[in-house]
């Protein structure tokens, strides 16, 4: 049965399009965190949507499950093929074309396997901005980004990935192609299927291309690094910047001193932009399409006021683009740098922004009591209430001993997140990692509706089975 399936796939795909075990599948089979490992039947790499559709139809005929994979940077095990039934890994890495940039409708149409950076570069070459910024953008693909409804640094201004989606082209579980690409900003003709597929993590359809809304390129920008005494002070700064900068505020990132310490262990040449030894820091980025210097002047004026008020302890305004990039490099190195502190237990949570200071005041001492010496490295997109609540092992504790406490620490963290009306999966999705927590914590009516949608679109549970609600 497997042999005849693979023979049929071979007839559909060209030579580079099918990798069987022994053909170098490794880079598709391991994932970024090294937490899960695929055992794929094979890897299919279609070069266009008709071949993609033929592959999915072949899987449907043989009842072979399919796991879509983009850049394989997902952090919840969504793109691994490790189910009970042997699964086909379906990589979009040969479908990378930018099909068109439409200046009149301010949008672009891109294939699912195109990386975020390549799509953004093509938009910029045509004079436009693709409004999404992720540290993983060199590898993460448009398909993966839409399938996970990725967030990122600029969500506070532009929203999550779904906000830029005007239409998608997708292959359904039986191999039919839905031609839903569209530049329309207004289309209320029936249910919004494109938005249903966004965030579905490969469980409802395979995305093959998307039409994405673009914005004007920035003409002026101001970036600042601030030292603040507490998350409450950071919130005060956020409120003031939002009020004065309005739409121009594009990122507001909270960074603890612990994260800077980890980054300096990884990159000894990295310097903190401010001398202050504050426990908390904030990275602010703002820009607008209007030319001039007014934004920098406005930011400076507000920061001076906040300094006089005591909300800001110290501040550095980037003088050059290179300096702004260096500030961001510090921020974007945190995930990698945390590995210098040994193993960690991570939570991608969101909370109503106003709850964050008291949430941290409640939970951080509790964690110290639970695991003395634990090193919380809590950072992220404070502007939209999304924290990477990462806990590094105590220096004098064995890695295995710390990881053995994961379930207990998850209970502690998620119980308090849910009690405050937050989410246990803010931007990385559910995948395998948070499937049980979704089942435990979602509204039962919503969960049942999700299961019915899955059943309607994928009755044989062939698309990424075992993930999300499958
Ligand atoms: C250093 C680093 C920083 C990150 N920063 C952020 C961040 O700021 N914000 C954020 O939201 N995430 C972030 N992530 C997580 C990750 O980059 C995103 O989830 C990203 O959207 C995944 O894209 P990908 O192409 O790598 O998808 P993959 O990892 O390949 O797949 C992710 C999921 O999407 C599905 N999928 C992939 N392609 C398709 C397709 N064509 N059709 C249907 N389903 C598909 C897969 O089956 C899987 O369930 C970060 C990751 C790393 C490693």
- Could you tell me if the CB of 256 is within 6 A of ligand 1? no
According to the model, what pLDDT value does residue 308 have? 96
Backbone angles phi, psi at 33, to 5 degrees: -85, -10
Which of 329, 334, 330, 389 lies closest to 356 in space, CA to CA? Answer: 389
pLDDT at 21: 87
Q: How many CB atoms lie within 10 A of CB 3?
A: 7
Q: State which of 49, 137, 150 you would mutate to test the pocket of ligand 1, scoring each by most atoms of that ligand within 8 A of its C-beta.
A: 150
| Statement: 220-334 belongs to CATH 3.30.70.2190 | yes
Q: How many percent of the chain have pLDDT more than 90?
A: 92
C-beta 78 within 6 A of ligand 1: yes
Pairing of strands 88-91, 42-44: parallel
Distance, in Å, from the CA atom of 11 to the CA atom of 467, rounded to the nearest integer, reads 30
Is residue 145 lining ligand 1, measured as CB closer than 6 Å?
yes
In ligand 1, which atom is closest to the CA atom of 112? 41
Going from the Cα of 144 to the center of ligand 1, the distance in angstroms, rounded, reads 5
Distance from the alpha carbon of residue 197 to the mean position of ligand 1, in angstroms: 14
CATH architecture, range 2-91: 2-Layer Sandwich (3.30)
335 lines ligand 1 (CB under 6 A): yes
Q: How are strands ordered across the β-sheet holding 88-91?
A: 18-19, 42-44, 88-91, 66-69
| Higher per-residue pLDDT: 39 or 123 | 123
Token pair, residue 207, equals: 């995305």
**190 contact partners, CB below 8 Å, separation of at least 6:** none
User: For 310, left (φ over 0), alpha (ψ -120 to 50), or beta?
Assistant: left
pLDDT tens, residue by residue, 245-262: 999 999 999 999 999 999
Question: Which of the pair, 48 or 335, is modelled with greater confidence?
Answer: 48
* pLDDT for res 276: 76
Per the prediction, the chain carries an average pLDDT of: 95
Report pLDDT for 22: 87
What is the value of pTM for the model shown? 0.96
Q: Which atom of ligand 1 is nearest to the CA of 427?
A: 11
Alpha-carbon distance of 467 to 80, in angstroms, equals 10
Q: For residue range 414-424, what is the model confidence (pLDDT) as tens digits?
A: 999 999 999 99
Cα-to-centroid distance, 206 and ligand 1 (Å): 14
| More reliable by pLDDT, 211 or 152 | 211
Question: Does the pLDDT at position 367 exceed 80?
Answer: yes
Tell whether ligand 1 has an atom less than 6 A from the beta carbon of residue 202.
yes
Domain covering 342-428, topology: Alpha-Beta Plaits (3.30.70)
pLDDT in tens, 296-310: 999 999 999 999 999
Q: Which atom of ligand 1 is nearest to 151's Cα?
A: 11
pLDDT, mean of residues 98-126: 98
Cβ of 136 closer than 6 Å to ligand 1, yes or no, is yes
Is 201 close to ligand 1, i.e. is its CB under 6 Å away?
A: yes
pLDDT tens-digit profile of 4-38? Answer: 899 999 999 999 999 998 888 888 998 888 888 88
Of 293 and 378, the one with more pLDDT: 378
Average pLDDT on 102-119 reads 98
- pLDDT for residue 217: 97
Model confidence band, residue 83 (pLDDT cutoffs 50, 70, 90): confident
∠ CA 447-195-250, nearest 5°, is 105
- Angle, alpha carbons 73-77-81 (nearest 5°): 105
> Degrees (nearest 5) of the Cα angle 23, 29, 30?
130
Architecture of domain 98-216: 2-Layer Sandwich (3.30)
152 lines ligand 1 (CB under 6 A): yes
Residue owning the nearest CA to atom 15 of ligand 1: 74
147 CB near ligand 1 (under 6 Å):
yes
Question: Do 220-334 and 342-428 share a fold?
Answer: yes
- What distance in angstroms lies between residue 146's CA and the mean position of ligand 1's atoms? 8
Kindly give the distance from the C-alpha atom of residue 74 to the centroid of ligand 1, in angstroms, as a whole number. 4
The C-alpha atoms of residue 215 and residue 224 are separated, in whole angstroms, by 23
Q: Whose CA is nearest to atom 11 of ligand 1?
A: 150
Boundaries of every domain in the chain: 2-91, 98-216, 220-334, 342-428
Which pLDDT score is estimated for 231?
A: 96
Query: Where does residue 464 fall: left (phi above 0), alpha (psi -120 to 50 degrees), or beta otherwise?
Result: left
From the CB of 349, is ligand 1 less than 6 Å away?
no
Q: Cα(315) to centroid of ligand 1, in Å?
A: 33
**CB of residue 146 inside a 6 A radius of ligand 1:** no
117 lines ligand 1 (CB under 6 A): no
Which pLDDT score is estimated for 1? 59
Q: How far is the CA of 273 from the centre of ligand 1 (A)?
A: 30
For residue 451, the model assigns a pLDDT of 97
Ligand 1 pocket residue status of 464, Cβ below 6 Å: yes
Quote the Cα angle for 368-372-373, to 5°.
Answer: 95
């Amino acid at each position: 049965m497997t042999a005849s399936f693979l023979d049929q796939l071979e007839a559909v795909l060209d030579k580079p399009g099918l990798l069987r075990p022994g053909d170098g599948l490794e880079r598709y089979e391991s994932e970024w965190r090294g937490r899960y490992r695929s055992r794929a039947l094979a890897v299919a790499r279609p070069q266009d949507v008709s071949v993609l559709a033929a592959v999915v139809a072949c899987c449907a005929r043989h009842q072979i499950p399919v796991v879509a994979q983009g850049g394989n940077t997902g952090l919840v095990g969504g793109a691994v093929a490790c189910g009970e039934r042997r699964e086909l890994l379906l990589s979009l890495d040969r479908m990378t074309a930018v099909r068109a940039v439409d200046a009149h409708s301010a949008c672009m149409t891109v294939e699912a396997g195109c990386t975020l950076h390549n799509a953004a570069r093509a938009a910029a070459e045509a004079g436009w901005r693709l409004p999404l910024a992720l540290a993983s953008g060199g590898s993460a693909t448009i398909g993966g980004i839409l399938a996970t409804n990725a967030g990122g640094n600029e969500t506070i201004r532009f929203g999550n990935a779904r906000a830029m989606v005007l239409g998608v082209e997708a292959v359904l579980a039986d191999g039919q192609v839905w031609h839903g690409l569209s530049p329309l900003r207004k289309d209320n003709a029936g249910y919004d299927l494109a938005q249903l597929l966004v965030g579905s993590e490969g469980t409802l359809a395979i995305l093959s291309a998307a039409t994405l809304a673009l914005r004007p390129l920035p003409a002026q920008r101001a970036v600042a690094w601030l030292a603040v005494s507490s998350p409450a002070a950071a919130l005060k700064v956020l409120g003031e910047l939002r009020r004065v900068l309005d739409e121009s505020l594009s990122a507001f990132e909270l960074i603890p001193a612990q994260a800077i310490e980890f980054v300096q262990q990884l990159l000894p040449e990295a310097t903190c932009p401010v001398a202050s030894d504050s426990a908390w820091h904030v990275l602010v980025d703002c820009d607008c399409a209007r030319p001039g210097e007014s934004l920098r002047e406005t930011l400076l004026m507000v920061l001076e006021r906040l300094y006089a008020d005591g909300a800001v302890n110290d501040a550095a305004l980037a003088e050059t683009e290179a300096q702004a990039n260096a500030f961001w490099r510090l921020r974007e190195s945190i995930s990698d740098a945390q590995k210098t502190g040994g193993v960690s237990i991570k939570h991608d949570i969101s909370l109503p922004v106003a709850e964050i200071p008291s949430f941290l005041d409640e939970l951080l001492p509790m964690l110290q009591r639970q695991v003395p010496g634990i090193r919380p490295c809590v950072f992220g997109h404070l502007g939209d209430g999304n924290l990477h609540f990462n806990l590094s092992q105590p220096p004098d504790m064995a890695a295995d001993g710390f990881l053995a406490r994961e379930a207990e620490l998850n209970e502690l963290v998620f119980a308090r997140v849910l009690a405050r009306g937050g989410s246990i999966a803010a931007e990385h999705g559910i995948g395998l990692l948070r499937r049980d927590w979704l089942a435990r914590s979602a509204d039962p009516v919503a969960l049942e509706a999700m299961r019915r949608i899955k059943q309607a679109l994928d009755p044989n549970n062939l698309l990424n089975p075992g993930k999300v609600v499958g």
